[in-house]
Every structure is written in C-alpha cells, then in structure tokens.
Amino acid sequence: MIHSRFSFLLQFSALLAAAQGKPNNTPLIQWTTCSNDYSSKLPADCGTLLVPLDYTDPASTETYALDLLRIPATVQPAKGSIVFNFGGPGEVGRSTLAADAPVFQALTGGEHDLISFDPRGTYASNMPLTCFDSEFDLQAYANAQVIPDQDDQATLGKLWVRGALDAAACAKKHKKNGTLIGTAFISRDIMRIAEAVDDDGLLRFWGYSYGTTLGATLVSMFPDKVDKIVLDGVQNPHQYYHAFADVEEWAQSDEVFSGIFSSCVAYPDQCALARDNKTAAELEQSVMALIEQFKYHPIGVGQMTLDNSFLYQTIQNSLYSIAAWQNTTKLLDMLSNGGIDESFVLSIASQTHPTNQQSLLGLSSVYIATEAIHCVDRAARAGTYENFVPTMNELYETSKIMGRGDVSLSMACAQWQLEPKERYEGDFQVTPKNPVLLIGNSYDAHTPIRSARNVSAGFEGSVVLEVNGYGHSSLGLPSKCTLATTASYWVNGTLPEPGTVCQVEARPFANITWKDVIENASKN
Ligand SMILES: *[C@@H]1O[C@H](CO)[C@@H](O)[C@H](O)[C@H]1NC(C)=O
Ligand SMILES: *[C@@H]1O[C@H](CO)[C@@H](O)[C@H](O)[C@H]1NC(C)=O
Ligand SMILES: *[C@@H]1O[C@H](CO)[C@@H](O)[C@H](O)[C@H]1NC(C)=O
Ligand SMILES: *[C@@H]1O[C@H](CO)[C@@H](O)[C@H](O)[C@H]1NC(C)=O
Ligand SMILES: *[C@@H]1O[C@H](CO)[C@@H](O)[C@H](O)[C@H]1NC(C)=O
Ligand SMILES: *[C@@H]1O[C@H](CO)[C@@H](O)[C@H](O)[C@H]1NC(C)=O
Ligand SMILES: *[C@@H]1O[C@H](CO)[C@@H](O)[C@H](O)[C@H]1NC(C)=O
C-alpha cells in the first residue's frame, strides 16, 4: 500500500487523554514529528484531533481520530491556519499538501499555518471505505471501469450491473461507516479543526474541485464562522447533491480538448503531432478517427490491451493540466504514426490504469472512496436504468470526451443503498461573516466558470476571479497575477475587483511551472 497504517500508539495516547478529561491549558492537538515520510520540502508536523464519530448522536461518546499534517507559516507568528482539501471526493490531503508545500505557502503569502487531513472514507484516513474483501473482487471492479460508446448497449448494460454490485458491496461491508462519510460530516470535521487550532475559532479554508462543494457546504452550514475561504475550480453543488449526474461539469471539456490541437499547431516545434502539417481541426478529426480505429483494432503493450476506452481515459486525464499535453500528443503521435516506445506508453498508462499489484490497490482505493462519498451524498437516485437513460444521454451530448467518463460513477450512485446520517439540505444562499473568493479558469474541462458564477450568486459579497487559460483550477495554470491576488486575499483580506481576469505565464507546451512563477516573483 502507498500509505502506512495509522500509528496505534498515537491513537492510544490521544484516546487516553480524552478519557482522562483534559485540563484547560492543554492544547487539543499535540503536534509532533510525522511518523510517515511525506517528503515535504518544508518542515511539517503531524497531530491527531479526536472528533465525534457520529455528529447526529450527541449521546454517543464514540470518537473518530482525525490525523492532521501541518506546514508551519514561513513568517512567524502565524496569522492563523488554513485547511486544504484537494477534491475527488476521495483524494487524500496530507501527502498532497506536503508534496507541494512551498507552492501553497507562496500562494497564501507565507503568513499562515497550512493544514490538511485525509477525509473520512479516503484510503489514508482512519475510516477507509474498501468495500471489497479480496484482491479477486478488487480486480473485477478495476477491470469493469470502461468507457462505453453511447450506442454500446451491451457494455452499458454490464456497467449498470457493475454499479449495483458496488452499491451492494459497500452497503454490506460498511453498513455503518458508509453512512458517516458524507460531506456534512466532513464539514463538521473542518469546523472542529478550526476551533482546535486557532483562538478565534473561525474558518480559513481552500478547496479545489470537489473541495469547492465541501467548501460551499461549509460556508452554508457555518456562515457566521467564515473568515476567509477560497473555492477554486468550482463544481455546481446543487447538481452534486440533487441531479442524477454532474452534467454541468463537462460543459467546457470539448473546448479544452480542441485547445490541445490549436496549441499544437501554434507551437509546432514542441508538439510531436504537428509534424503532420495538419490544421487544428484536421488533427482533432484524425485523433477521433484513431480512437474509433482502436475500438475495433486495439493493440497490446506490456500486459495491457490499449483500446478506445484506454484512449478516452488517457485524454480525459490530460485535460487536468497543460503540463500533460506534451506527453499526450507524443503518445497520440506514436499510436498514429508508429514507433511505439513501450516503457513510455506504460508510464502514461499507469496514471489511469493499474499496471501492477500496487497500482491496482492505489488507484482502486481512490476510485472506491470517490464513489462511496459522492454516492452517499447524492439525494437523487434514479433507481432504474430506464430512469437514468435521459441523464446518460445528456452526459454524452454535453461532451464527447468527458461526459462518458461520468457514466460509471453516476450509474453506481443511481443504485446506492446507503443514506448519510446527515446531508446539507439548504439552497446555498447565505451571507457569510466575511466574503468568499471563487476562482474559475476561462477553459476548465472539469469545472466550467459558469459553476463558479452560480455559487457566487448565492454567497453575498463573493467575487469570482477568472484565470485566462486551459486547465483545472488555478493549480493547473501558473500565473503571477493569480499568485499576487490569492496572497493578498489571505494576508490582507483584499478581494479582486469584480470582473478581474488574470493572464497566465504558462502557455501550453512551455513547461512553465508554479515553481518558476514563484521564483520569478520573489526576484522582481
Ligand atoms: C469504521 O470506522 C471506525 C472508526 O475509524 C473503525 O475503527 C472501524 O474499523 C471501521 N469499520 C470498518 C468495517 O471499516
Ligand atoms: C511539413 O511542412 C514542412 C515545411 O513546409 C515540410 O518540410 C515537411 O516535409 C512537411 N511534412 C509533411 C509530413 O508533409
Ligand atoms: C512525460 O513522460 C516522461 C516519461 O515517462 C516522464 O518522465 C515525465 O514526468 C512526463 N511528464 C509529465 C509532465 O507528466
Ligand atoms: C445554479 O445551478 C442550479 C442547478 O443547475 C440551478 O437550478 C440554479 O438556477 C443556478 N443558479 C443560478 C443563479 O444560476
Ligand atoms: C498587504 O498590505 C500591505 C499594506 O498595504 C502591503 O505592503 C503588502 O504587500 C500586502 N501583502 C500582500 C501579500 O499583498
Ligand atoms: C518542454 O519539455 C519537453 C520535454 O522535456 C521538451 O521536448 C520541450 O522542448 C520543452 N519545451 C520548451 C518550450 O522548452
Ligand atoms: C520571469 O521574469 C522575466 C523578467 O521579468 C520574464 O521575462 C520571464 O518571462 C518571467 N518568467 C516567468 C516564468 O514568469
């Protein structure tokens, strides 16, 4: 496994402290050296906070151990703490924060302690939703994750049954824990963290992607506790809870897909596919034809069968960030024009497909947590295939590339058996104590900027910052303007003027990273 298990000793001593009742001057969290190696480039420490296992049962004394990682402010004393969530749902927090600690410190102006945790349900939390008992069952689950064409009734029928199997397996294995992992409880966990770490007990939070649904829920449940909150790469939370699928998420995906080819033609020296001398439209057409060809004529590489489903997943993955476009166009060029480099193809494949036992466990544990959290949150359940079909067709029609990627998850959710102990039932219309900053990219294949505007319309005083480029959330688009804007919000509480558009330093195929932009900004 990628993660090592929670340290029993730490949990034991924390439970003991809770049982003995803590004197008023003892902090709720004892920060110590991390027992895991998070390979953080900045100093990091770790701690555990005990929170109620079930917030809806005040009579219960059962606790849940929330493991935290903290990157202390580079400028001390810290102005308070900011909690991070990196999306999914199903993504872990501690290792992601540690891996890019210098970037997050720069983006927040260096004056806050940064904290993350692995939300309930995720594999590195103390409540991992594993759902399957054997490696055989896990392998069957992983093998079933295919991306069918809209007219492929046979495969769609099998995928629907697979969703029912997932729903039944999670209900059987996690009858109790599967009801304790919803976003309302994760929001309450964040509120507990805020109360434990800072004297003012106010919320400072930065959520990416699904982390914006979590953040929107947090703001709506605790509007009086909001100090500063950034929602970045914004989902439509109304759809997340109340629609049969997150259809709006894919509204701009095909524009981003086309952006790969227009950028390829604009920077031909850096894009392998450009050597065909085609126009952007011709390149896109030839890639669509390649995908169709692989449907009937897949190839074997290593122990993998590369088919059209593989190509869809790889392209979907590369729409997260322009940083992936160089490799994706190189792969497409190899598959179109020959000269396949097996180790290169397998290294690309391993990002989305299990290529060995370890990656089977790693990738599957993220997918299952995503399913278990999103599906339990979703109030709308289609129940039958017939009821689901109109939404499925909407997915295919919204985006030829991304819509189909949401079919498998949405089918499982349509048949989910568990209900959360608590679900936020409100309408996301609140006046928070302090204004919220939303960030949306002009072209985001996972969260179109219209969803940021949708959430902003409900949060009195909020502002949407637009970042002009291709990618998912501001993390996908290094920009000195974004850096200055977010740092100024965190340090001084300054919001950008409504209508502000940040230009970016990182154009496609240029290899410019956040590290480059941050180093440059500190020089100038
Ligand atoms: C449910 O979560 C609790 C609290 O973390 C944990 O102790 C228990 O082992 C979990 N049960 C299952 C079946 O995973
Ligand atoms: C593409 O154009 C360049 C420059 O005009 C030319 O040298 C090259 O042969 C062309 N390649 C193809 C595949 O047509
Ligand atoms: C591109 O692929 C190479 C070879 O597998 C890999 O080393 C590199 O990290 C990849 N680049 C990105 C941005 O993923
Ligand atoms: C936000 O999105 C929801 C769901 O799609 C929709 O019902 C609502 O009208 C939207 N609100 C605004 C202000 O656009
Ligand atoms: C915060 O405001 C002060 C005073 O105007 C200014 O000097 C400083 O650069 C600002 N900090 C950031 C990160 O914008
Ligand atoms: C980006 O990196 C790739 C791979 O290292 C290289 O082939 C390409 O020329 C680089 N692009 C630029 C603009 O430096
Ligand atoms: C860094 O700054 C120099 C000088 O202002 C500029 O020419 C260059 O484009 C910048 N690079 C990045 C990555 O921002």
| DSSP string for residues in 57-107 | -TT---EEEEEEEEE--SSSS-S-EEEEE--TTT--SHHHHHHTHHHHHHH
By CB neighbour count within 10 A (0-12 exposed, 13-18 middle, 19+ buried), where does 382 fall?
buried
Question: Does residue 181's CB lie within 6 angstroms of at least one atom of ligand 1?
Answer: no
Considering the chain, what percentage of its residues have pLDDT values greater than 90? 88
Taking the alpha carbons of 383, 387, 388, 391 in that order, is the dihedral positive or negative? negative
180 lines ligand 1 (CB under 6 A): no
Tell me: pLDDT of 360 over 50. Answer: yes
Q: Is residue 459 part of a domain?
A: yes
Q: What is the pLDDT of residues 438-471, one digit of tens each?
A: 999 999 999 999 999 999 999 999 999 999 999 9
Q: Is residue 13 part of a domain?
A: no
pLDDT at 358: 87
Instruction: Give mean pLDDT, residues 43-52.
Output: 97
Claim to verify: residue 444 and residue 463 sit in the same structural domain: yes
Q: Are residues 44 and 93 in the same domain?
A: yes
Q: Does any ligand 1 atom lie closer than 6 A to the CB of residue 127?
A: yes
Q: Which residues form ligand 5's pocket by a CB distance below 6 Å?
A: 109, 487-488, 491-492
Quote the pLDDT of residue 295.
96
pLDDT score, position 263: 98
**Choice between 17 and 262, residue whose per-residue pLDDT is larger:** 262
* Predicted local confidence at residue 354, as pLDDT: 86
* Nearest-angstrom CA–CA distance, 250 and 243: 14
Question: With the C-alpha atoms ordered 119, 90, 416, 131, is the resulting torsion angle positive or negative?
Answer: negative
* Statement to judge: residues 317 and 463 lie in one domain: no
Q: Which residue has the tokens 């997260």?
A: 320
Beta-sheet pairing, 203-208 with 81-85 = parallel
CATH code of residue 452: 3.40.50.1820
Pocket test for ligand 1, best of 5, 6, 15, 127 (most atoms within 8 A of CB): 127
Residues of the domain holding 329: 133-173+254-377+382-415
Q: What is the pLDDT of residue 23?
A: 42
Q: 524: pLDDT confidence band, cut at 50, 70 and 90?
A: confident
The rounded Å distance from CA 116 to ligand 1 centre is: 21
For residue range 12-33, list pLDDT tens digits in order. 333 333 433 344 445 689 999 9
Q: Is 56 in the pocket of ligand 1 (CB under 6 A)?
A: no
Structure tokens at 414: 């349509």
Q: Which of 444, 442, 452, 371 shows the shortest CA–CA distance to 406?
A: 371
Do 465 and 485 lie in a common domain?
Answer: yes
> Same domain for 295 and 358?
yes
In a domain, 249, yes or no: no
Higher pLDDT, 376 or 14: 376
Query: Which residue's alpha carbon is nearest to atom 6 within ligand 4?
Result: 238
The CA distance from 81 to 28, in Å, is 15
- pLDDT (0 to 100) of residue 27: 67
Question: Tens digit of pLDDT for each residue in 164-186?
Answer: 999 999 999 999 999 999 999 99
Asked, for residue 6, whether it belongs to a domain, the answer is: no
**Residue 116 in domain:** yes
Considering the domain architecture, whether residues 213 and 306 belong to the same structural domain is answered as: no
Establish whether residue 344 lines the binding site of ligand 3, counting it when its CB lies within 6 angstroms of any ligand atom: yes
Residue 484 lies in a domain: yes
User: If you measure from the C-alpha of residue 513 to the centroid of ligand 6, how many angstroms do you get, rounded to a whole number?
Assistant: 12
- Residue 267 CA: nearest ligand 6 atom is 13
Looking at the structure, tell me whether residues 460 and 401 fall in a common domain. no
Q: Tell me what pLDDT residue 17 has.
A: 39
Cα 326 to middle of ligand 2, angstroms: 20
> What is the per-residue pLDDT for 348?
95
pLDDT at res. 12:
33
What is the pLDDT, as a whole number, of residue 451? 98
User: Do 112 and 191 share a structural domain?
Assistant: yes
| Ligand 6 centroid to residue 329 C-alpha, Å | 13
User: Closest residue (by CA) to atom 10 of ligand 3?
Assistant: 327
- The 3-state DSSP composition of the chain as helix, strand, coil percent (nearest 5) reads 50, 15, 40
Report pLDDT for 157: 97
Q: Average pLDDT, whole number, for the chain?
A: 93
455 domain-assigned: yes
For ligand 3, mutation pick of 314, 347, 512, 515 (most atoms within 8 Å of CB): 347
Residue 11 banded pLDDT, cuts 50, 70, 90? very low
Which atom of ligand 2 lies closest to the CA of 276? 13
Number of domains making up the chain: 2
Residue 499 has pLDDT above 50, yes or no: yes
> Residue 10 — pLDDT band, cuts 50, 70, 90?
very low
Note whether 445 and 361 are same-domain residues.
Answer: no
Residue nearest ligand 1's atom 2 by CA: 127
* 51 and 152 both lie in a single domain: no
Give residue 492 CA to ligand 5 midpoint distance, Å: 6
Residue 311 lies in a domain: yes
**What is this structure's pTM?**
0.94
Range with the poorest average pLDDT among 91-100, 174-183, 299-308, 349-358: 349-358
Shared domain check, 266 and 169: yes
Residue 349 has pLDDT above 50, yes or no: yes
Atom of ligand 3 nearest to the CA of 347: 5
Q: Which residue spans within 354-474 are E strands per DSSP?
A: 437-443, 463-470
Q: What separation in Å is there between the alpha carbon of 509 and the centre of ligand 6?
A: 7
- In this structure, are 462 and 369 located in the same domain? no
Counting ligands in written order, the one closest to the CA of 455 is 4
